Structure 1
Amino acid sequence: MEKYNVKLMYRSQEKKRHIELIKDKFFGNDKGYGYFRKDEKRYNFVLEDGINNLYEPIRNEALKYFKGNDIEWWGGNPDYPTGHTVSSQIACLNHLMFLRQKPTEVMELINGLERVEFTKVFPVPCDADISYIAFEAISDKSYLNEPEHIRGSYCTSIDALIYAEDINNEKWIILIEWKYTEAYGDSSKDDKSLEDYEWCKGEHGKGRERMRRYNGLITKSQQLKSLENYESSAYYFEPFYQLMRQTLWAEQMVKNKATERIKADHYLHIHVIPKDSVDLLQKTYKFSNQNMEVTWRNMLNEQSKYIIIDPQELMSPIKSRYPELYNYLKTRYYDK
């Protein structure tokens, strides 16, 4: 039971904090107790109007951006932001949307990673307007054998993507995967290589299809380690399943740069996780007997391409330049 309680610790803490913020009118007159997805129950940490979930200066822009780029919102309504206050999609937008058309600040963020010296950022070609951070980005062509190719749903997409050039005039894609209160299981029911289709129980049809889709790409990958048997491996449990697909996506973007609008020579994979998220960072997975970071790093050949960073640390380069944004983030996400 102890491990189970630890698993829920950070998520519960953040829900309680957002309930207090609702009471303190941090979200204006929104009183909470909103609906989530198709559940008829009201939740005190869910806002009645999802627009109040966004930092006020980005609200209209975020709606316009998602509509203009045909991106589906996470949650019950694909056309409107969720009122779920601990949504990681909302957290990502609240941190980065305000900066998406500010190239100097975007470059400061990625140079703050202290991994590569960048000299320039470019507008990301997949967006309908000039944007130096693209959200829910996908490639021009599908390389992962996935049946759908829609931004924000049914395929491998990137929470936030930056396109930059380094001091050697080589181009990079910086993939940002944003986590907030996520927590994942490691039992057989969480194993995506064993998952069934609804209409065919016990044959692991969905899992076999996933392995047909990705196993060959993993074997050919330069970054991901090949295994004799992929079934029930780390690659098919979250969050590693997601990280695996994003790594393959990045490799294919570099490999196919001649035909992609984004012509990248290299990539960095940034995993934004609050340092206090014990639910995710400190969980010991049964199949590896290691925590999240060690488990994933054991699957990688080149460690420098993968970076875990706390959101407050990521945003520190713009702290003094945009105090109102930073104070909003601090009150909502960083203060304890």
Structure 2
Amino acid sequence: MSNGYYLSQRDKQQALIGSDVFRNDNGNGKFMGKNYPFVLAKGENNLFPPVNEVERYFSDNHISWWGGYSPTGHILSSQMACLNHLFPIMNDKDSVLAILNGVRDNFKEVLPIRCDKNPQYIAFEVVSSADHLNEEASTRGSNCTSVDALILAVDKNDKVWLIPIEWKYTEHYGTEDKSAGNKGETRKARYNQLITDSKQLKTLPDFKIYYQEPFYQLMRQTLWSEQVVLHKDMEILKADDYLHIHVIPDTNVALLRNDHRYPYKVSGLGMEDTWRYCLTDQSKYEIIDPKKLLSPIMSKYPELAEYLETRYW
């Protein structure tokens, strides 16, 4: 599958380098030891203001940045995209509720998320209080299963819901088998029994689909959500059920429309249909475009809307 969306977004954003969108940053910054024109010289210029509040949030909550100890300058980072869309509204209770009800119109209230030092209505890079996935770590942003963003909400029947959000931007994947080799054996030892015991993930004859991206991440987050709900007595995040939201641009066809034949050898199944094949309860998974997610509140945030439109949409 062509990576045309990646190239188009790279060209779109690279054309903005040197402008006020990136605070006049001229790019050619370093990424993984090399300089690239599509990497900003200063990672903080990759964030919608107020930048200092984002950096303070990561510091206060001991969260690792993707790829390092500070915001990445890579203009196609999905972590930056998630923060730029959601961080500006995280303390706006009504707006967080509005975007959630735009996905599933079933909620009457959102709750402060107590895992943060200063609880607001969206949290980022969230992990469980205890290790339920045999990962031997619970470090926000690295070395364990975490969710890009999280909302806690109360539905119209007073049931509390955990709402993990997985954010994708230009990602597209090959066919790497994460169950292969020594690392693969470790992964299978961690997750296979949890998959077997899961009420949501089907125990398929061949588990390999769960060890191929993007399903490897989705599998772990599904298990994470189940286990947090199951162990709510020992978790700071106390919920009765969960709804897994997957944010992917509609135009990222390299991710959405890729024909995931392995392991089922069924032609024509895209990412969503392939994943839904693995799920028992379809109502626990929703996929949405980022512009559609934010659409209920854009008239309230005109500066943010202009920034997102110019940069991403």
TM-score interval (norm. to shorter): over 0.9
User: SS of the counterpart of 1:22?
Assistant: coil
* Deviation of the 1:148 alpha carbon: 1.8
* Deviation of the 1:229 alpha carbon: 3.4
Partner of 2:209: 234
1:192-231 deviations in Å (ceiling 9; x for gaps): 000xxxxxxxxx111111111101000111110002332x
Match of 2:79 among 89, 93, 99: 89
Amino acid at match of 2:200: Q
CA distance in 2, matches of 1:228, 1:91: 37
User: SS of the counterpart of 2:149?
Assistant: strand
- Is 1:300 the counterpart of 2:290? The answer is no
CA distance in 2, matches of 1:254, 1:56: 34
- Is 1:145 the counterpart of 2:134? The answer is yes
Contact 1:116/1:166 (<8 A) preserved: no
* Deviation of the 1:275 alpha carbon: 0.4
TM-score scaled by structure 1? Answer: 0.90
CA distance in 2, matches of 1:260, 1:26: 40
CA distance in 2, matches of 1:73, 1:130: 20
CA distance in 2, matches of 1:28, 1:250: 38
Partner of 1:191: 177
Amino acid at match of 2:54: A
CA distance in 1, matches of 2:177, 2:98: 39
User: SS of the counterpart of 2:66?
Assistant: coil
User: SS of the counterpart of 2:170?
Assistant: coil
CA distance in 1, matches of 2:21, 2:231: 46
Contact 1:107/1:119 (<8 A) preserved: yes
Amino acid at match of 1:206: K
User: SS of the counterpart of 1:112?
Assistant: helix
* Deviation of the 1:28 alpha carbon: 2.1
Alignment of 1:101-250 (within 5 A): 101-113=91-103, 115-186=104-175, 190-194=176-180, 204-230=181-207, 233-250=208-225
* Deviation of the 1:308 alpha carbon: 0.6
Contact 2:177/2:211 (<8 A) preserved: yes
CA distance in 1, matches of 2:129, 2:23: 40
- Is 1:282 the counterpart of 2:257? The answer is yes
| Count of residue pairs the alignment pairs up | 309
- Is 1:20 the counterpart of 2:15? The answer is yes
CA distance in 2, matches of 1:326, 1:155: 33
CA distance in 2, matches of 1:247, 1:86: 26
Contact 1:69/1:127 (<8 A) preserved: yes
TM-score scaled by structure 2? Answer: 0.96
- Is 1:330 the counterpart of 2:309? The answer is yes
Percentage of pairs with the same residue? 52
Partner of 1:66: 58
* Deviation of the 1:147 alpha carbon: 2.1
* Deviation of the 1:26 alpha carbon: 2.5
User: SS of the counterpart of 2:27?
Assistant: coil
Q: Which runs of 5+ in 1 are unaligned?
A: 195-203
CA distance in 1, matches of 2:206, 2:106: 39
Amino acid at match of 1:330: E
CA distance in 2, matches of 1:279, 1:47: 25
CA distance in 2, matches of 1:116, 1:302: 18
1:172-198 deviations in Å (ceiling 9; x for gaps): 011100000001001xxx10000xxxx
1:225-262 deviations in Å (ceiling 9; x for gaps): 002332xx210001000000000000011111122122
